[in-house]
A = this chain, B = another copy of it.
Amino acid sequence: MIHNGKNVTDLKIAYIGGGSKGWAWGLMSDLAVADDISGSVYLYDIDYDAAKANEIIGNTVKNSKGAVTDWKYVAVKTIDEALTGADFVVISIFPGTMDEMNSDVHCPEKYGIYQSVGDSTGPGGIVRSLRTIPMMQEIANAVKKNCPDAWVINYTNPMTVCVKTLYETFPEIKAFGCCHEVFGTQKLLTDVLKEYKGIEGVKRNEIKVNVIGVNHFTWLTSAKYKNIDLFPLYKEFCEKYGEEGYGVKADTNWMNDFWEYAEKVKMELFLRYGYIAAAGDRHLAEFCSNHWYLASRERVAHMKFGLTPVDFRRENYKKLGAKSARLVNGEEQFEITETGEEGVMQIRALLGLEDLVTNVNIPNRGQIPNLPIGAVVESNAVFSDNSVVPVFAGEIPTVIHPLIARICDEQQMIVKAGIERDLELAFIAFLNDPLVSLAPPEARALFDEMIQNTKKYLTMYNVK
């Protein structure tokens, strides 16, 4: 790269999973509107054709309305080509196929275990972890070999497990995990501000929060706008909307919307614990005891959030494929829409173009003193010239500590199980998962079945 103090040119970004639909396009959008950085994006994907399609699409972006910078996109056939000399690496892969995800999400239903997402925790998240860890090891080793000084930004789930595996494999890696779930809660808080203070037009990042926890099970221990403490307002808000939910549109059938939720889980958690759970309800529910929110389809309906079926994802994925084809053959023109993701802002901050304080997933050096050192945790960090330094987030409050600490221990075990290819240790984590409300023999049967279902991606384990 060439850095003149105010602008950076000739930046090289490697995109692992570069055939991605959706995420890759978002990055293209965000890069196109950043006026002080430019360069090339190397797209690597196990599906080369998909990467190639994105190369074509990416190289049209400069023609879109709003584009101010011309980035070059290059699909490559090996990960080494993508990484050599890279300044930044973006990881956004889909581990396995929809068939594996189908097993992850739906196989446990036979045992009465429902999962709203199934990619971060619970039976699905654990088995997905087992097949993702070896992939992350490979990527970490490739980074070590090709671009050890590059910053590595991970978007892949299960986030915590992925980031932890990167560090376990290459301890000097400069990696962090990036997730937008907290942003949604910041947005909700702007609604609160509007409702009780009549203040409009506040941007989500003007809401200053102290973030604590693990990815997708993050909590806020403070939330402020200027001199206004948002906790008492949010309490009023939860007391008002907690029962009926917030944000449910009157004219649509809520039950048909698999991504939607009415913030009921979040609000109930606040009313009980006094701290703000800060992720989508579909994620939050999966980290709690199975009996609380996911015990049955009725309970889920009552709590007004959706279980996302994998068929729906397949459908969605098919649509994205069609859109990709249209973008490639020029039937459709790429449209720039800012994602609200912070990836490009983080890149700019790391280049010293503008400081940024935001939430991030990195190993715990002590920023959360009552979680294990080395565990990957989510909290705020200061991004500036070539450094990400965690803010001291403080101890997790006693009332929510058992909820989070348990998950953190589970994640530590899963990563160890994955790296050591130890399915027995993985089962210990599985059995202890809050969603696995089963006696040990039934838990074992489910675990074995899920492993069998996905064994194509588990060849490095000793699967019988």
Q: Is the CB of B386 within 8 A of A399?
A: no
Interface 9-mer from A97-105, A182-190, A218-226, A311-319: A218-226
Q: Is the CB of B439 within 8 A of A3?
A: no
Q: Is the CB of B352 within 8 A of A385?
A: no
Known contacts A208-B384, A406-B406; A199/B392 CB under 8 A: no
Indicate whether A410 reaches chain B with its CB closer than 8 angstroms: yes
Inter-chain contacts of A227 with B (CB < 8 A): 1, 3, 351-352, 385-386
Interface 9-mer from A18-26, A159-167, A335-343, A365-373: A365-373
Q: Is the CB of B352 within 8 A of A224?
A: yes
Interface bits A191-227 vs B (CB < 8 Å: 1, else 0) = 0000000010000000010100000000000101111
How far, in angstroms, from A189 to B273 measured CA to CA in the complex?
44
Known contacts A5-B226, A224-B386, A412-B398; A403/B432 CB under 8 A: yes
Q: Is the CB of B226 within 8 A of A351?
A: yes
How far in angstroms is the closest Cβ of chain B from A161?
Answer: 15
Indicate whether A70 reaches chain B with its CB closer than 8 angstroms: no
Inter-chain contacts of A3 with B (CB < 8 A): 226-227
Give the contacts of A347-373 with B (CB-CB under 8 A): 351-353, 355, 357, 365-367, 369-370, 372
**Copies of the chain in the assembly:** 4
Q: Is the CB of A405 within 8 A of B398?
A: no
Known contacts A226-B351, A402-B406; A382/B385 CB under 8 A: no
Q: Is the CB of B439 within 8 A of A295?
A: yes
Indicate whether A299 reaches chain B with its CB closer than 8 angstroms: yes
Q: Is the CB of A382 within 8 A of B391?
A: yes
Indicate whether A320 reaches chain B with its CB closer than 8 angstroms: no
Q: Is the CB of B409 within 8 A of A226?
A: no
Q: Count residues of chain A with CB under 8 A from any CB of chain B.
A: 63
Q: Is the CB of A229 within 8 A of B386?
A: yes
Q: Is the CB of A208 within 8 A of B387?
A: yes
How far, in angstroms, from A338 to B397 measured CA to CA in the complex?
43
Inter-chain contacts of A394 with B (CB < 8 A): 365
Q: Is the CB of A398 within 8 A of B382?
A: no
Q: Is the CB of B208 within 8 A of A291?
A: no
How far, in angstroms, from A47 to B380 measured CA to CA in the complex?
45
Inter-chain contacts of A353 with B (CB < 8 A): 226
Indicate whether A146 reaches chain B with its CB closer than 8 angstroms: no
How far, in angstroms, from A280 to B119 measured CA to CA in the complex?
39
Give the contacts of A249-299 with B (CB-CB under 8 A): 268, 272-273, 289, 291-292, 295, 299
A–B complex contacts, Cβ < 8 Å, 27 sampled:
A208-B385, A208-B387, A222-B387, A224-B384, A224-B385, A224-B386, A225-B352, A226-B351, A226-B352, A226-B386, A227-B351, A227-B352, A227-B385, A229-B386, A268-B440, A291-B438, A291-B439, A357-B357, A357-B382, A366-B392, A367-B392, A380-B389, A389-B393, A390-B391, A399-B428, A401-B409, A403-B432
> Which A residues have a C-beta under 8 Å from some C-beta of B?
1, 3, 5, 199, 208, 210, 222, 224-227, 229, 268, 272-273, 289, 291-292, 295, 299, 351-353, 355, 357, 365-367, 369-370, 372, 380, 382, 384-387, 389-394, 398-399, 401-403, 405-406, 409-410, 412-413, 416, 425, 428, 431-432, 437-440
Q: A292-B440, A357-B382, A390-B391 are in contact. List 15 more A-B contacts (CB 8 A).
A: A224-B352, A226-B351, A226-B352, A227-B352, A227-B385, A272-B428, A291-B437, A291-B439, A355-B355, A380-B382, A382-B391, A391-B391, A391-B392, A399-B413, A402-B410
